Structures are given as structure tokens and as C-alpha cells.
């Protein structure tokens, strides 16, 4: 991501995960509009797409954070002697990729299960469930955009 070229410096905060928040919010608005005119099936598809885009952006953000944390811990392990007769060790990048993947997949499964159990326990019906899901997604997207804008002003 860092190597990508941004053609307009004024919108650099929309690179990566925050850009996904914008697209997800647009699909969320589309879903609301479709539901308001009675096109619930297509509106549900738009809501699912909004969640997919948002989860992809969140995973990009988390992937970078987890890889950096694992990379710094693995680099500390690699600081020892380099001339020894042992089996080939995984590189720092490989360790970071593997452990980061495990953390992200495990986290995604945990959140998905918690969400399904929560909606099942609340038994709100499809309209209220869709409203709760849309509200949570909108709040998350707006929070991500606010954080990106704030970080862009500082940096």
C-alpha cells in the first residue's frame, strides 16, 4: 500500500481501508434507498455488499497492524548469533504473514459467531435486525473515516 501512487494529495486519507469505508457507506445508502422504495431483495444484496467491502477494509487495516507487531517481535528474535548449524528458520516476513493470517481468520470467525449468536438471542425480526446491522455499519464507517481524517491532519 505504501508504494502506491496517490495522484491527488488532498485525498490521501482515502487510501486503503478508509477508501473501503467510503464505498461501503455508499452501498449502505443505496440499500436504504432501495428498501425505502420497496425493493427489499436488492436492498439486502446492497447491504451484504456494504458489509463485505467494510470487512475487507477492516482486514487491510488489521493485517498491517498485526504484521507490524509480529515483524517487530520476530526481528528481536532474529538479533541473535547468525552462524549456527540448525535447520532453516522461517524469515521474519513469513512469520509475520503466517501469524497475522491466523489472528485475522480467528478474529473473523469469533466476530461472525458472536454476531450470529447475538442476533439469534435478540430475535428482533428481519426489519429490526437489518436496521441494527445498518446502524452498526454506518457508525463503524464514519468512525473509520473520522480517524483517517484526523490521522491525515496530524501526519
**Residue found under cell 552462524:** 83
At residue 149, does pLDDT exceed 80? no
Residue 154 banded pLDDT, cuts 50, 70, 90: low
Question: Whose CA is closest to 97, among 62, 63, 73, 72?
Answer: 63
- Of 75 and 68, the one with more pLDDT: 68
Supply the pLDDT for residue 124. 78
pLDDT interval class at 64 (50, 70, 90): confident
pLDDT of the residue at 37:
92
Could you give the 3-state DSSP secondary structure of residue 107?
Answer: helix
pLDDT tens digit sequence for 9-50 = 656 556 666 778 888 888 888 988 998 898 888 888 888 888
Dihedral through CA 105, CA 111, CA 116, CA 117, nearest 10? Answer: 120
Measured distance CA(61)–CA(72) in Å, rounded: 17
Rounded to the nearest integer, the mean pLDDT of the chain is: 76
Nearest to 65 by CA among 149, 153, 135, 147: 147
Q: With contact defined as beta carbons under 8 Å apart, do 54 and 20 qualify?
A: yes
Of 127, 126, 139, 67, the C-alpha closest to 96 is 67
pLDDT tens readout for residues 70-89: 777 766 655 555 566 667 77
What number of other Cβ atoms are within 10 A of residue 65's Cβ? 12
The residue ranges of DSSP E strands in the chain, in sequence order, are none
Amino acid at each position: 500500500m505504501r508504494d502506491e501512487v496517490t495522484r491527488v494529495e488532498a485525498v490521501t486519507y482515502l487510501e486503503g481501508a478508509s477508501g473501503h469505508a467510503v464505498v461501503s457507506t455508499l452501498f449502505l445508502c443505496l440499500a436504504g434507498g432501495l428498501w425505502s422504495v420497496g425493493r427489499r431483495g436488492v436492498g439486502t444484496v446492497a447491504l451484504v455488499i456494504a458489509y463485505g467491502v467494510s470487512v475487507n477494509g477492516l482486514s487491510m487495516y488489521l493485517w498491517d497492524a498485526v504484521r507490524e507487531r509480529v515483524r517487530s517481535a520476530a526481528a528481536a528474535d532474529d538479533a541473535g548469533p547468525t552462524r549456527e548449524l540448525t535447520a532453516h528458520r522461517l524469515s521474519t516476513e513469513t512469520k509475520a504473514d503466517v501469524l497475522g493470517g491466523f489472528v485475522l481468520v480467528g478474529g473473523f470467525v469469533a466476530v461472525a459467531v458472536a454476531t450470529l449468536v447475538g442476533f439469534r438471542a435478540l430475535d428482533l425480526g428481519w426489519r429490526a435486525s437489518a436496521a441494527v446491522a445498518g446502524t452498526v455499519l454506518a457508525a463503524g464507517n464514519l468512525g473509520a473515516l473520522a480517524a483517517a481524517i484526523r490521522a491525515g491532519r496530524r501526519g
